[in-house]
Copies of this chain bind each other. A is one copy, B any other.
Amino acid sequence: MSLDRTVQKPIDALAAYLVGDMDAVNTLIRTRMASEHAPRIPEVTAHLVEAGGKRLRPMLTLAAARMLGYQGEHHVRLAATVEFIHTATLLHDDVVDESAQRRGRPTANLLWDNKSSVLVGDYLFSRSFQLMVETGSLRVLDILSNASATIAEGEVLQLSAAQDLRTDEGIYMKVIRGKTAALFSAATEVGGVIAGAPEEQVKALFTYGDALGIAFQIVDDLLDYGGTSSVIGKNTGDDFRERKLTMPVIKAVAQASAEERDFWRRVIEKGDQRDGDLEHAMSLMARHGTMEATREEALRWAAEAKTALDALPAHDLRDMLRDLADYVVARVK
């Protein structure tokens, strides 16, 4: 099946190519969300799972497995696993961030409460774990259990790094590898593992997912200062108000004059934020060119993702994954 990639967004091209598998994933997700004993669970999760997420992560697993000729059914279980882990993380993030909106809709923790978000997240995480066990692959279990630990570590690190001007790019990279890239790379890697691909191809899939995830998160952090609410359902400056140190700010702090440093100390460390501070922060980032420098880092990671694909056999899906890497960074052109 060949698709005209020039008229479709890469994510839509992937969705069209993988439509049969994605239908199976969606059916499995709905079945496994259900709880005989606790009917509130699908209420909470349906809200998130049906909320128009792009299902990027499960598609990565399906694409990796199919590209390498996998003909079984475990890739569907693994794709659902990955989406469940992602959804569980979102539910817990909403509690942690005290978010009021996600994807332009009120978050579950406002509609229901923090309690449901915590417990239903736990439920989805357990469900994901059951799905992996059903594949019978200890290697897959190893990869996904390590990814889960890395995700949790990244989130804790983000918490302690927030409001701390000493947070540098090294810490930032650990945070985004944890909060984002770990699940991307596990998603692609397990697709290769379940397909029985040779080690060098599995490694290439890991590298692709890791680099794509990093590019994706850097762009997300950039959009937080430059995107519009309609693009990501988030308001500009959320990270600023939450005093998170993301790449454009870290780069601006590193180049700050003494006076600028006082500003950053007040708004980020002390949390004393006033009208006009966000605009001033953005003018400082513009002065030091940190938005542009951050965008260049994202482009570099997208290029690394594409290079990793060279180790994989030629395939329509490989082309789509290459386009996807471009698309992820095109959001900040």
Contacts and interface: CB of A to CB of B under 8 A. Distances in A.
Copies of this chain, tallied across the complex: 2
A116 B153 CA distance: 11
Contact of A129 (B115, B123, B145, B159): B145
A241 to B, nearest CB: 16
B37 A119 contact: no
A303 interface: no
A285 to B, nearest CB: 27
Interface string A115-135: 110111011011101101100
Contacts of A153: 35, 37-38, 41, 123
A141 B39 CA distance: 26
Interface in A124-178: 125-127, 129-130, 132-133, 136, 138, 141-142, 145-146, 148-149, 151-157, 159-160, 174, 178
Contacts of A118: 92, 95-96, 118
A118 B156 CA distance: 9
Contacts of A5: none
Contacts of A149: 123, 126-127, 129-130
8 contacts: A35-B156, A38-B154, A96-B115, A119-B152, A119-B159, A122-B155, A123-B156, A133-B142
Given A35-B153, A129-B145, 17 more contacts: A37-B153, A38-B154, A41-B153, A41-B156, A92-B118, A95-B95, A114-B114, A118-B118, A119-B155, A119-B159, A122-B148, A122-B152, A126-B152, A129-B148, A133-B138, A133-B141, A133-B142
Interface of A: 35, 37-41, 92, 95-96, 114-116, 118-120, 122-123, 125-127, 129-130, 132-133, 136, 138, 141-142, 145-146, 148-149, 151-157, 159-160, 174, 178
